[in-house]
């Protein structure tokens, strides 16, 4: 992918993802009451605002504030900047990897913005499921991160040569 096109894709995906993520989180904080889930589509989709001080699924939420800041703001911020630089300046990356990386980095930045402006917490508000089987609470940034990972895995699986049965 040419450098100009790569930069345009990165900028577009970053702004679109972070903008959508921050907008939906602002709406969730403004209109959803903590502890009062809103059920949609017969309960398949539930909206419930949760301020998550930890990482995915609350990992690290019980760490001291200073440790969480160093890990979830400083260290993650450095990793995201390095990853963005790699995506922008590596000449050998396919368009699939650039788009997937852009989604993953944009999702990381969306949650990083939350940590900086929301006292170290990330706003999560979407739960999917049927009956007792439910996802954890997530947001648009988490969905972007997951989408980027799925794109890379699908691309890797698709590009591997098939060996057939019993090989």
Helix (H, G, I), strand (E, B) or coil at 78: helix
Distances (CA, A) of 93 to 10, 126, 151, 158: 13, 33, 14, 16
User: Higher-confidence residue: 57 or 68?
Assistant: 68
Residue 158: predicted pLDDT: 85
Q: Domain spans of the chain?
A: 3-158
| Residue 53 reports pLDDT greater than 80 | yes
Instruction: Specify whether 124 is catalytic.
Output: yes
Q: Can 142 be counted among the known catalytic residues?
A: yes
- Model confidence pTM above 0.85: yes
Structure confidence by residue, pLDDT tens digits, 100-122: 999 999 999 999 999 999 989 99
Count CB atoms within 10 A of the CB of residue 22.
Answer: 19
Higher pLDDT, 164 or 130: 130
Q: What is the pLDDT of residues 63-109, one digit of tens each?
A: 898 999 999 999 999 999 999 999 999 988 999 999 999 999 999 99
**Percent of the chain beyond pLDDT 70?**
96
């Amino acid at each position: 992918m040419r450098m100009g096109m790569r930069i345009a894709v990165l900028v577009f995906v970053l702004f679109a993802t972070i903008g959508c993520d921050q907008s939906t989180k602002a709406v969730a904080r403004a209109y959803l009451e903590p502890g009062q889930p809103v059920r949609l589509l017969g309960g398949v989709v539930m909206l419930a605002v949760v301020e998550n001080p930890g990482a995915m699924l609350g990992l690290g939420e019980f760490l001291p504030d200073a440790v969480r800041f160093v890990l979830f703001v400083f260290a993650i911020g450095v990793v995201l900047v390095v990853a963005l630089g790699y995506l922008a300046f590596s000449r050998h990356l396919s368009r699939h990897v650039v788009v997937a990386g852009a989604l993953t980095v944009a999702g990381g930045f969306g949650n990083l913005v939350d940590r900086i402006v929301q006292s170290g917490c990330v706003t999560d508000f979407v739960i999917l499921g049927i009956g007792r089987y439910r996802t954890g609470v997530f947001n648009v940034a988490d969905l972007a991160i997951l989408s980027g990972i799925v794109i890379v895995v699908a691309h890797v699986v698709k590009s591997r040569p098939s060996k057939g049965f019993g090989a």
